[in-house]
Amino acid sequence: MSARVDALLERMTWEQKLLQLQIVWRADTAIQHDLARRGIGAQFWPPSVAAVNALQRVAVEESELGIPLLVALDVVHGQFTIFPTPLAQAASFDPAVAAADARVSAAEARANGVNWTFSPMVDVTRDPRWGRVVEGFGEDVFLSSRFAEAKVRGYQGDRLSRRDVVASCLKHFVAYGAAEAGRDYNTTDMSHRRLRETYLETFRAGVAAGAASVMASFNALNGIPMHANTGLLTGVLKDEWGFAGVVVGDADGVAQLVDHGIVPDEKTAVARAIEAGVDVVMGGSLLVDDDGVAVLTPGELSPARVDDAVRRVLTLKERLGLFENPYADERREVRSATAPARAHARAAASRCLVLLRNEGAVLPLARGAQVLLAGPFARSTDHLGAWVQSFASPVSQTLADALAEAMTDAALEVADGADVFAVSEEHLADVVGRAARADVVVLAVGEPSALSGEASSRADIALPAPQVRLIRAVAATGTPVVIVLATGRPLVVEDWVDEVDAVLVAWHLGVEGPAAIAEVLVGRTNPGGRLPMTFPRAVGQVPIHYDHESTGRPPRTGGRIQGEAHPGLAGPDNTDDYYTSKYLDLPLGPRFDFGAGFGYTTFALGDVAFGRVVALADLEAGATIDVRVRVQNTGTRVGDDVVQLYVRDEIASVTQPVRRLRGFTRVTLEPGDATTLAFTLGADDLRFWTDDGTQLLEPGAFTVWIDDGVSRVHARFELTQREDAA
């Protein structure tokens, strides 16, 4: 409760209130100023500090109430200094990477007059056809939740009134990542249990971390488009979780209730959305028309709901300190990536690379080796990723430049001429000829940034065919091949992966991407990332995720289907193996699992050791169970291990996932060094949701796995109701 907000609400007319609930974009300067003068609540960033200050000045000095503007921009993985994409960041298994991105991004944004970012995207994503998987933190709810918290805290700092932080926005609420068939904006339909367990949980974590706003998603969920979903926007988010911040509609999402076919016109759409819990409408003049007339009367829209929405908006402005400091300090303006910001972006990028294959230890590149670099990403500057604006600082160094700089004593040759979608016969012959004379070929291949992101779903998630041809032709020369894979999503790599020697997933690593890749290739830094999303064998397997539920006919991992390259449609003759949950035309499981990846050294995991296994009643009262494991670097190089803890509730009244991530730690160890890592399991880690909206924690056996993407150890504990029953 704030005296200033109360006093303003007291003075505001109906139109003035409704104007605070609108955000417009794509307007020219004259229209922006006119809207600011009339008292609109929020605008998109007009790209410069001078322009944003001029706009704020109109709002503060020329509008009747003098309320400053929320100035919004999608600063998703950098404004000027572009960091790795969020999916790449998740591969670091190190939330500090996301926190660093958020801090640098927030400082750049606020210094330039932006006070509100539409980030982080915390949609759990299990379908790599969906282009927006690049914007989130992958398929796992626990990993995504930890990254959501880190991003929110990084953007917002310890208080929003600081001059180097921005208000964050969790999006897209909710289940947008479950779009049917991986097609953007498509419908979702799911059990209450799955919604709670997986899709709502990242938002709950982000709200608990203090996120200032939440964006409604475009999809309908169980028949109700999210912009009209009272049960979730108001019932769960605001009432159950006590979220006191701003709910913003997505771009034209309110108007699109008409396209969803649940309301006849935009006027009804906006009434439905506001009543459902949307506080700010993005796009259009749906509340107050261009002539300044309110579209809805107080009879058509509850004044109490409008007051609540306005209060949320004004409170956010107050928390941001905008009433005291509406203007950005023009002396602190940032126009491009600075050296310190780049250093953070480089450090972040170095932690996101994932090594999935390294036959014969072809990586790191041997000293003195003759290296041929080829492929469409050899001289590409397309490393920024999907969510960047035109003013982002460009990539100045290609992989060819960076590798030449990093390779001090080896000889580098570069074969230019491959395009992402076309490789000529001449180029193919040239690369093959030169490959035969090289000691190792590095092929930088992949998906351009534009193939992932919003409205960029793909039905086929393989590499473009000409690149596959290039890989296979080079591999056929017998010279070892290292693949550097640029991508915004997990790809299907079956056509070539067994023919190459090394695979390094490079995602889109941002402005410092090429340098980070080159340093890993030469061994100056160690790859230590792990996959935040499963790489399927075929698109027919998706949606695919490691934490699938047990079925009644699980495939037999020891059976004869396992490991066969292509059993084919004839099927195996062993009937025991036949009637199981599998595909006839694929070996079992994904190509590369969630959590997979390794580095240039080796690690040994000790046994899983439990501390005192307390009883269920004690867990409920806040006690925890300690889990410890010793990890040792058994190789000859320094390296990072990502130690992951998974749990399975063996017998539960509701079918459980085969395993669920409940902890992870990334640790750097010198050769020979060992450390003991400690994890804790609390009631929340072992509970599950039922479909009637309750959470249960049941006694019985639990299996715990410690897994570092290479090896796995496990142990069981028995949870009793009370200690004396043990």
Question: Which residues would be at the binding site for ligand BGC (CB under 6 A)?
Answer: 74, 118, 171, 250-251, 454
Is the distance from CB of 171 to CB of 245 less than 8 angstroms?
A: no
Query: Which of 169/420 has CB closer to ligand BGC?
Result: 169
Tokens of 98: 């996301």
* Shortest Cβ 70–ligand BGC spacing (Å): 13
Query: How far is residue 14's CA from residue 299's CA, in Å, rounded to a whole number?
Result: 12
Residue type at position 595: G
Is the distance from CB of 431 to CB of 415 less than 8 angstroms?
A: yes
Residue with the two structure tokens 């070539």: 496
* Shortest Cβ 163–ligand BGC spacing (Å): 24
Query: Which of 109/251 has CB closer to ligand BGC?
Result: 251
Tokens of 203: 């938002």
Pick from 703, 704, 689, 617: which is nearest to 653 by CA?
689
* Shortest Cβ 92–ligand BGC spacing (Å): 23
Q: Which helix or strand (DSSP H or E) is residue 288 part of?
A: none
Query: Which of 121/677 has CB closer to ligand BGC?
Result: 121
* Shortest Cβ 25–ligand BGC spacing (Å): 7
Pick from 202, 139, 215, 134: which is nearest to 173 by CA?
215
Query: Which of 164/454 has CB closer to ligand BGC?
Result: 454
Beta strands at 639-649 and 22-24: parallel, antiparallel or unpaired: unpaired
Query: Which of 45/323 has CB closer to ligand BGC?
Result: 45
Residue 250 designated active-site:
yes
Query: Which of 108/640 has CB closer to ligand BGC?
Result: 108
Pick from 509, 548, 386, 534: which is nearest to 457 by CA?
386
Tell me the CA distances in angstroms from 167 to 157, 171, 644, one per residue in order.
9, 13, 32
Query: How far is residue 263's CA from residue 254's CA, in Å, rounded to a whole number?
Result: 11
Query: Which of 248/296 has CB closer to ligand BGC?
Result: 248
* Shortest Cβ 550–ligand BGC spacing (Å): 35
Query: Which of 214/461 has CB closer to ligand BGC?
Result: 214
* Shortest Cβ 118–ligand BGC spacing (Å): 3
Is the distance from CB of 78 to CB of 388 less than 8 angstroms?
A: yes
* Shortest Cβ 379–ligand BGC spacing (Å): 31
Pick from 173, 144, 130: which is nearest to 453 by CA?
130
User: 2-36 burial, b for 16+ CB within 10 Å, e for fewer?
Assistant: eeebeebbeebebebbbbbbbbbeeeeeeebbebb
Pick from 110, 151, 154: which is nearest to 321 by CA?
110
Query: Which of 118/689 has CB closer to ligand BGC?
Result: 118
Give the nearest residue (CB) to ligand BGC.
118
Query: How far is residue 395's CA from residue 309's CA, in Å, rounded to a whole number?
Result: 42
Sign of the alpha-carbon torsion through 29, 35, 38, 43: negative
Query: How far is residue 43's CA from residue 69's CA, in Å, rounded to a whole number?
Result: 7
Active-site residue, selected from the candidate residues 94, 101, 127, 250: 250
Q: Order of strands, edge to edge, in the sheet holding 712-719?
A: 660-669, 639-649, 700-707, 712-719
* Shortest Cβ 171–ligand BGC spacing (Å): 5
563 Ramachandran zone, left/alpha/beta (phi>0; psi -120 to 50): left
* Shortest Cβ 551–ligand BGC spacing (Å): 35
Query: How far is residue 192's CA from residue 200's CA, in Å, rounded to a whole number?
Result: 10
Cis (ω within 30 of 0) for the bond into 174? yes
The residues annotated with a catalytic role in the active site are 250
